[in-house]
Amino acid sequence: MNFSNLSEIAQYIVSEGKGILAADESNPTCKKRFDTISVECTEENRRNYRELLFTSEGMKENIGGVILFDETIRQHSESGKSLLELILDKGALPGIKVDKGLQPFNGSDLETLTQGLDDLDGRCSEYSGLGAKFTKWRVVININENLPTQECIDANMESLANYAKIAQKYGMVPIVEPEVLINGDHSIEDCYDATSRSIKSLFNYLSTNNVDISGTILKPNMVTPGTDHTNKATVEEVAQATIKCLKENVPAELPGITFLSGGQTEIESTQHLDMMNKIGGFSWKLSFSYGRALQASALSAWLGKKENISAAQSAFSHRAKMNKLASLGKWSESLEE
């Protein structure tokens, strides 16, 4: 696959309803997932699990990009092929997570600032050489009493803009991920406010940094009430609030918005995405960049056993297909049976 510019790469990833498989769990996060199915988190098991995802039939036509972890971009399959090649064989592009996690912001217990800018230039140069076509950097915004502070929002969005500029310098599309966490008892209005302030600040910094918006992808949360809030929002309320927030803050030249699932169930994240695309009325592609919401059923089916690979691949392929349909506004609950 040859691309003449960043915009073409970004557009390819979200073309025809395709989305992104987030397979960039750090080893500690991977251990938490594997603990739920009583599988040891060894390098071999991590490789085997990701290989089963990347060789699934459902990768074709449904997945446009795969976000990898540093370990995974260097791994080879049992047959000796690099995992990167397996992804390309299915028509998807390999990408890489480049942030280095969270540190407390100004000594706060609740606010954080994402790390990793210090040596990012050198790492992006290497990843580009290894074949990565896009990158991802996540910042985290917490909602609490008097939080988030604008100071914390701005510091994180400036870091996203600095990262994006470096990624583009090495010919890779930056995925910018400002995640307003779903944890807490905040209302949908609180989430709307924090998400709106974050995205507005982000695009201000991207503009100041002369980042090519047509060669960038946004990976935001959906606008939902917190998990502990007394009132659960309807699917339509989440969809309407999310679209309104994006329309107010995201420039039209952005090619795609690929949502994170952020603690939603597999079905919830598909339902919400589908409803947004059924409502329509926006210029960008609205798609998915899911981790758990693409993998939960596959992980439960696999259980670390070779004889379960086919069942795990079927479970993953089904979710990939459902989310592609949701990206086109063509999903319905009857298709889940």
> Among residues 25, 177, 179, 266, which one is catalytic?
177
Q: Which residues contact 254 (CB under 8 A, 6 or more apart)?
A: 213, 214, 216, 217, 218, 284
**Rg, C-alpha atoms of the chain:** 19
> Among residues 219, 266, 285, 324, which one is catalytic?
219
Q: Is 219 designated active site?
A: yes
Pair 65, 256: CB distance under 8 Å:
no
User: Cα angle at 321 between 315 and 325, to 5 degrees?
Assistant: 145
17: nearest Cα among 335, 277, 279: 277
14: nearest Cα among 126, 95, 70, 89: 95
Q: Is 177 designated active site?
A: yes
Asked, as a colleague might, if the bond just before 148 is cis with ω within 30 of 0, I would say yes
Q: Long-range contacts of range 82-88, CB-CB < 8 Å, 24 or more positions apart?
A: 83/47, 83/50, 83/51, 83/54, 84/130, 84/131, 86/51, 86/54, 86/55, 87/54, 87/59, 88/1
Count CA within 13 A, CB hemisphere, residue 250.
27
Count CA within 13 A, CB hemisphere, residue 131.
18
**Burial class of residue 130, CB neighbours in 10 A (0-12, 13-18, 19+):** middle
Q: Which residues are catalytic?
A: 177, 219
